[in-house]
Amino acid sequence: MELYTPQGRRTHSEAVWRLIVQTYKDYGNSEDGNLYGADLENLIRTPGCWKLVAAGDEFIAGIIFRHCKGSKMRLVLHNCTHDGKEALRHLLITEFNSGRCWGECSGNLERVLRAHGAPIIANTRAAAILEKPILHLDPDGVHYEREVFPGTVKREMLFGTVR
């Protein structure tokens, strides 16, 4: 299911928000529950697309995109089951390898995208693409460090197609 309008997203927002919170509960260290400032109303109103995978009557996985130099991945979600994680993996591979999106990744997302040949963007382009200060460019040519939330620095890399 693809949701492009605030009205369409609002209809499914409670279920999607529960999965987002569940997905991110063990990641990060921000004061707002590890979501680095994301809130449901902002996600509903921000122009972009929610791509969701359902099994029966329930969503099991999805990606929240926002319009920014094309389609930028903002958050991922899954129901923490094998099927949910596989559905997310498939969605990630499809979206990134089709050239339809881009995103900043680390950890498990980075491993999945690298293993499946998603296009990698050189770290020297990170500051211009993100329009944010980069603290350190790794000599590997792909990783960089930046402050993603006040007081939280992460090592990231960019994947996909920026427009």
Q: Are 45 and 66 in contact (CB under 8 A)?
A: no
- Which residues, at least 6 apart from 44, have a Cβ–Cβ distance to it below 8 Å? 6, 9, 10, 13
> CA 42 from chain center: how many Å?
15
Does the model's pTM come out above 0.85? yes
Residue 30's pLDDT is what?
47
Domain residue extents for the chain: 2-160
Whether residue 147 has pLDDT greater than 90? yes
> Domain 2-160 carries which CATH code?
3.40.630
Condensed to tens digits (0 to 9), the pLDDT of residues 49-101 reads 999 999 999 999 999 999 999 999 999 999 999 999 999 999 999 999 999 99
Mean pLDDT value across the chain: 93
For residues 114-137, average pLDDT: 98
d(CA 105, CA 110): 5
DSSP category for residue 13? H
